């Protein structure tokens, strides 16, 4: 780990959410995701873990096959971290059941506090009918509420009906705690417990029997018990702020794609959250428990958080202990950063700041933005002392940090919990204070560093991806010029163990990868030559795609062109900076063109297309029937189910590779 970067772990020493299918964390000491060096020993270890995972059928939560192949051929490849989507969803649902039942914060600790604290207490309580120690069970474990016979009958019946399925249940409310964990036999459970004892922190293994049983009772169905322990124990059960409090009041400024999931997640962990937004319709929607954009599980989490009174939205700033700023940072004309939203947000919260507050900038920002924030606050609040960059001796009243958000639309909630975080303080003290908040809900490692490093880190991540995508896009253009199939070139080149060419596409869109590299370019225009060129290559790709479509359209008098997908990436409803949308807008300008847009993620066309007479929202079937030219611009999952054969009679421009049918054949050696 680089000097000056500290890693904040949870009290658990074995690192966050170690999964059975994880490959690079055999031991706590190997938890070093930032390792870049490759050692034969490490490779061997990774390989063994991956092979074990592949035998179990999953790598990083996905079915193996391709992933296993990658793992074998590329030892440095990182299979997924943290919980799989399915595991996360189970956890989330069980967590929300707790939230609904307790009617308060829903914190796991609340339930635990009502669970028996010792075996003696447990026996004493058994007649009260909630938890009951079952001495007839091979391991003497709690099994069911009510009579032992009823529990036994239930378990036996369940095992008959679902052989090989865990009997752990999330249905742990009063009167129904069944937790024998037996269906796959005591062996699995014992193995899980053993693994848990070895890998888990000591406070859990020393937990009184009653608490351990309560943990077992809450384990969601199908989730390995030791993983459930990890989820709950890592994420907040033992968590305390320095003053001993478990929860704090947080104000999230901006309730958009980042602010709203963060606010809902914090509320679900028991914090009191106030969402501040300038947009009244967003505030009204949130207060009604309605998410104003699509994101898996967000609606569920949001309505639970609002119903339990842990989250509310407002247009007026109010005091809080933590402030999280997640407002837009778009580009201005000439590709410079537009920091006006961040500055406005800072001036809005400045009047309510108090001594001891922590302000965290989550918006992606150019290097130096956190320092600029401190200047704005100092202007607005001369009565408070604000920190200066790396001035560790200054006794500041308010802590200021940058903590970039790196979650992926489509799996935001899962990544909010499982991603590692970079916490860059103006001083170390600032960063440490912010780290406490993230530790209350993040299972990943929190890396503490200074604000400039954190700012550049996020920008570098996206610039790195942009450069790699630019390579693929440039290659696709070269292949078009040379009359070669890019999909075959890519597939075969990637057989090389140290080559991994990304998928080319219609361009690069969204509000991160297409924007953030410019923040680096604007800060260091003479030095960032590769980053600038990559941006230009990617920005030019839509024009190339339009050229290909126009060349085909020339063959028809009045071509009908079906465009599949206009969002900026697959399976989202977001069209910001979408290259596909840019292409459709240009195609609509072609002479005599009738454009049919197939976009299953949108109910209506965006404003830039809605007004045009020659553009219509269509179903896939309609488009296939009517089109002369078909263009696949976004690889939505609905399109992957389409029959490639039914498009054989059409002129096709496929930027997604979904319909690439020519495959190289492997020749068996004698
Ligand atoms: N969306 C992503 O996938 C993603 C991922 C990582 C980082 N980011 C970064 O996070 C930041 C926020 O992005 P987003 O996608 O959530 O933006 P967004 O446009 O979805 O939401 C921003 C919200 O902030 C509100 N707002 C604007 N000015 C405000 C002010 N002065 N006070 C209070 N509220 C204000 C807006 O009304 C809007 O609801 C950006 O810097 C972005 O680059 C976004």
Mean pLDDT score, 443-471: 95
- Given 171, 204, 232, the domain boundary residue is 232
Contact 277, 344 (CB under 8 A): no
With 50 as the cut, is the pLDDT of residue 524 above it? yes
Tens of pLDDT along 169-180? Answer: 333 232 333 333
Pocket test for ligand 1, best of 254, 286, 421, 571 (most atoms within 8 A of CB): 254
Mark whether 350 and 310 lie in a shared domain: yes
Whether 2 is covered by a domain: the verdict is no
Atom of ligand 1 nearest to the CA of 409: 3
The SS3 call for residue 7 is strand
| Token code pair at residue 455 | 């700012």
With 70 as the cut, is the pLDDT of residue 232 above it? no
With 90 as the cut, is the pLDDT of residue 366 above it? yes
- Nearest C-alpha neighbor of 304 from the set 32, 92, 21: 92
- Nearest C-alpha neighbor of 324 from the set 426, 398, 401, 429: 401
What's residue 244's pLDDT?
66
With 60 as the cut, is the pLDDT of residue 103 above it? no
Whether 484 is covered by a domain: the verdict is yes
Q: CA-CA distance, 406 to 78, in Å (whole number)?
A: 17
Question: Residue 22 Cα, ligand 1 centroid: separation in angstroms?
Answer: 33
Atom of ligand 1 nearest to the CA of 406: 6
Segment among 127-131, 295-299, 410-414, 612-616 with least mean pLDDT:
127-131
> Residues 558, 486, 411, 91: is their CA dihedral positive or negative?
positive
Mark whether 506 and 639 lie in a shared domain: yes
Nearest CA to ligand 1 atom 38: 256
With 50 as the cut, is the pLDDT of residue 356 above it? yes
Mark whether 253 and 279 lie in a shared domain: yes
DSSP 506-551: S---TTTTTTHHHHHHHHSTTT-HHHHHHHHHHHHHHHHHHHHHHH
Tens of pLDDT along 404-445? Answer: 999 988 889 989 988 999 999 999 999 999 998 998 888 888
What's residue 391's pLDDT?
95
Range of 626's domain?
462-654
Q: What is the DSSP letter of 356?
A: T
pLDDT-derived band at 639 (thresholds 50, 70, 90) equals very high
Atom of ligand 1 nearest to the CA of 515: 43
Tens of pLDDT along 106-155? Answer: 343 343 334 333 333 333 333 332 222 233 332 323 232 333 333 333 33
CATH of the domain at 362: 3.40.50.720
- Nearest C-alpha neighbor of 277 from the set 312, 304, 319: 312
With 70 as the cut, is the pLDDT of residue 342 above it? yes
Whether 37 is covered by a domain: the verdict is no
Mark whether 540 and 593 lie in a shared domain: yes
Nearest CA to ligand 1 atom 21: 256
Atom of ligand 1 nearest to the CA of 254: 24
Tens of pLDDT along 68-97? Answer: 332 333 323 333 456 677 777 777 776 666
pLDDT-derived band at 314 (thresholds 50, 70, 90) equals very high
Contact 125, 106 (CB under 8 A): no
- 210 φ/ψ sector (left φ>0, alpha ψ -120 to 50, else beta): alpha
Question: Residue 257 Cα, ligand 1 centroid: separation in angstroms?
Answer: 6
Question: Residue 444 Cα, ligand 1 centroid: separation in angstroms?
Answer: 23
With 60 as the cut, is the pLDDT of residue 613 above it? yes
Pocket test for ligand 1, best of 251, 252, 258, 520 (most atoms within 8 A of CB): 258
The per-residue pLDDT of the chain, averaged, comes to 74
Instruction: Identify each DSSP E strand in 390-438 by its residue range.
Output: 399-402, 421-425
Mark whether 306 and 430 lie in a shared domain: yes
Question: Residue 467 Cα, ligand 1 centroid: separation in angstroms?
Answer: 24
Nearest CA to ligand 1 atom 36: 254
Whether 426 is covered by a domain: the verdict is yes
Angle between helices 369-380 and 340-349 (to 10 degrees): 40
Q: Domain total for the chain? A: 4
Mark whether 201 and 269 lie in a shared domain: no
Contact 96, 300 (CB under 8 A): yes
Whether 389 is covered by a domain: the verdict is yes
- CA separation, residue 442 to residues 27, 309, 386 (Å): 20, 22, 27
In the chain, DSSP finds a helix count (H) and a strand count (E) of 25, 16
What's residue 518's pLDDT?
97
Mark whether 119 and 218 lie in a shared domain: yes
Mark whether 273 and 398 lie in a shared domain: yes
Segment among 4-13, 170-179, 184-193, 305-314 with least mean pLDDT:
170-179
Whether 166 is covered by a domain: the verdict is yes
Mark whether 53 and 184 lie in a shared domain: no
Atom of ligand 1 nearest to the CA of 342: 31
Strand order in the sheet with 560-564: 615-617, 594-598, 560-564, 629-632, 651-654
Mark whether 393 and 526 lie in a shared domain: no
Question: Residue 121 Cα, ligand 1 centroid: separation in angstroms?
Answer: 50
Q: CA-CA distance, 508 to 572, in Å (whole number)?
A: 15
Mark whether 510 and 599 lie in a shared domain: yes
The SS3 call for residue 665 is coil
Tens of pLDDT along 16-54? Answer: 222 223 333 333 333 333 333 333 334 334 434 444 444
Whether 131 is covered by a domain: the verdict is yes
Q: What is the DSSP letter of 164?
A: T
- Nearest C-alpha neighbor of 1 from the set 33, 24, 25: 33
Nearest CA to ligand 1 atom 30: 345
The residues carrying an active-site annotation are 458, 512
What's residue 99's pLDDT?
55
Whether 10 is covered by a domain: the verdict is no
Mark whether 634 and 605 lie in a shared domain: yes
Give the bridge partners for 450, in sequence order.
425
Question: Residue 260 Cα, ligand 1 centroid: separation in angstroms?
Answer: 9
Q: Which residues line ligand 1 (CB under 6 A)?
A: 253-259, 276-279, 282, 326-329, 341, 344-345, 348, 363-364, 405-407, 409, 511-512
């Amino acid at each position: 780990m680089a000097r000056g970067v500290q890693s904040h772990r949870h009290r658990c020493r074995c690192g966050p959410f170690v999964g059975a299918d994880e490959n690079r964390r055999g031991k706590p000491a190997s938890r070093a995701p930032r390792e870049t060096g490759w050692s034969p020993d490490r490779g061997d270890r990774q390989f063994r873990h991956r092979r074990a995972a592949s035998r179990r059928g999953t790598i990083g939560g996905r079915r193996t096959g391709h992933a296993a192949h990658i793992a074998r051929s590329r030892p440095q490849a990182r299979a997924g971290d943290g919980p799989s989507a399915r595991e996360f969803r189970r956890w989330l649902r069980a967590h929300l059941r707790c939230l609904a039942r307790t009617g308060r914060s829903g914190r796991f600790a609340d339930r635990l506090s009502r669970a028996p604290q010792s075996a003696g207490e447990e026996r004493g309580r058994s007649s009260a009918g909630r938890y009951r120690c079952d001495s007839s069970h091979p391991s003497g474990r709690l099994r069911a509420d009510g009579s032992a016979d009823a529990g036994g009958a239930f378990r036996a019946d369940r095992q008959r009906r679902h052989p090989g399925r865990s009997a752990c249940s999330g249905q742990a409310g009063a009167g129904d705690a069944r937790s024998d964990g037996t269906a796959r036999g005591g062996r699995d459970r014992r193995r899980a417990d053993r693994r848990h004892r070895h890998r888990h922190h000591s406070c859990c293994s020393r937990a009184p029997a009653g608490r351990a049983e309560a943990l077992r009772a809450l384990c969601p169905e199908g989730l390995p018990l030791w993983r459930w322990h990890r989820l709950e124990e890592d994420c907040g059960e033992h968590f305390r702020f320095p003053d001993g409090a478990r929860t704090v009041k947080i104000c999230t400024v901006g309730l958009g794609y980042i602010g709203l999931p963060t606010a809902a997640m914090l509320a679900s962990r028991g914090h009191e959250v106030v969402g501040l937004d300038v947009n009244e319709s967003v505030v009204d929607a949130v207060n009604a428990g309605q998410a104003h954009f699509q994101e898996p599980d967000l609606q569920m989490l949001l309505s639970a958080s609002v119903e339990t009174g842990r989250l509310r939205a407002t247009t007026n700033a109010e005091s809080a202990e933590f402030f999280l700023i997640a407002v837009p940072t778009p580009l201005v004309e000439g590709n410079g950063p537009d920091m006006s939203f961040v500055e406005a947000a800072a001036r809005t919260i400045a009047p309510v700041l108090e001594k001891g507050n922590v302000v965290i900038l989550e918006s992606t920002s150019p290097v130096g933005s956190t320092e600029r924030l401190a200047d704005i606050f100092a202007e607005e609040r001369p009565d408070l002392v604000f920190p200066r960059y790396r001035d560790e001796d200054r006794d500041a009243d308010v802590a200021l940090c940058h903590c970039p958000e790196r979650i992926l639309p489509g799996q935001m909630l899962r990544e909010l919990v499982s991603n590692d975080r970079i916490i860059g303080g103006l001083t170390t003290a600032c960063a440490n204070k912010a780290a406490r908040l993230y530790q209350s809900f993040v299972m990943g490692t929190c890396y503490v560093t200074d604000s400039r490093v954190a700012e550049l880190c996020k920008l570098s991540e996206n610039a790195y991806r942009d450069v790699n995508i630019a390579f693929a896009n440039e290659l696709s253009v070269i292949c078009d010029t040379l009359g070669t199939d890019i999909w075959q070139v890519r597939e075969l080149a990637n057989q090389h163990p140290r080559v991994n060419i990304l998928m080319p596409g219609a361009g690069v869109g969204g509000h991160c990868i297409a924007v953030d590299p410019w923040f680096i370019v604007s800060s260091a225009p003479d030095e960032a030559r590769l980053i600038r060129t990559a941006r230009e290559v990617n920005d030019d790709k839509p024009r190339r795609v339009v050229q290909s479509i126009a060349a085909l359209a020339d063959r028809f008098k009045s071509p009908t062109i079906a465009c599949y997908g206009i969002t900026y990436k697959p399976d989202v409803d977001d069209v910001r900076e979408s290259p596909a949308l840019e292409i459709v807008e240009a195609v609509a300008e072609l002479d005599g063109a009738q454009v049919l847009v197939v976009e299953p993620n949108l109910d209506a066309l965006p404003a830039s297309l809605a007004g045009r007479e020659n553009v219509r929202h269509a179903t896939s079937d309609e488009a296939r029937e009517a089109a002369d030219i078909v263009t696949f611009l976004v690889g939505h999952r609905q399109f992957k189910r389409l029959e490639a054969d039914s498009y054989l009679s059409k002129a096709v421009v496929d930027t997604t590779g979904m319909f690439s049918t020519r495959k190289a054949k492997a020749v068996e050696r004698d």
